[in-house]
Amino acid sequence: MVTCWPVVAEAAWLLRNRPASVRDLFRAFQDGVLSLVPLDETDMPAIDGILKTYANLRPQLADAALVHLAERDKLLKIFTLDRRDFTVYRLSRNRRLQSIP
């Protein structure tokens, strides 16, 4: 599975009261379960566009980054606990993301 820094930061914040779980998250990268996909300044306009398009949902940066990565890297499956918002987000040509679990 791939992810990006905004998602790791949000996950670590959500797990802030469980330090062992944060360490497990980091270990998943060391063990090759998760891979970090780079985002740079060229990705910012697209992420900003997603934040503007879905402003009524008040999306987190992590959500917008994932939607952008799905579009950029042609991914259709996303692992998220935020089923509500990810049923609304769309990729180009009105394609839906498949949420797991």
Joined tokens for residue 2:
């791939």
Alpha helix ranges (H) inside 15-60: 19-30, 44-53
Q: Residue 74 has what pLDDT?
A: 92
pLDDT tens digit at each of 101 positions of the chain? 899 999 999 999 999 999 999 999 999 999 999 999 999 999 999 999 999 999 999 999 999 999 999 999 998 888 887 778 888 999 988 888 888 87
pLDDT confidence of residue 43: 97
- Residue 99 β-bridge partners: 78
pLDDT of res. 21: 96
pLDDT of 79: 85
Residues near 6 by beta carbon (within 8 Å), at least 6 away in sequence: 39, 60, 61, 62, 65
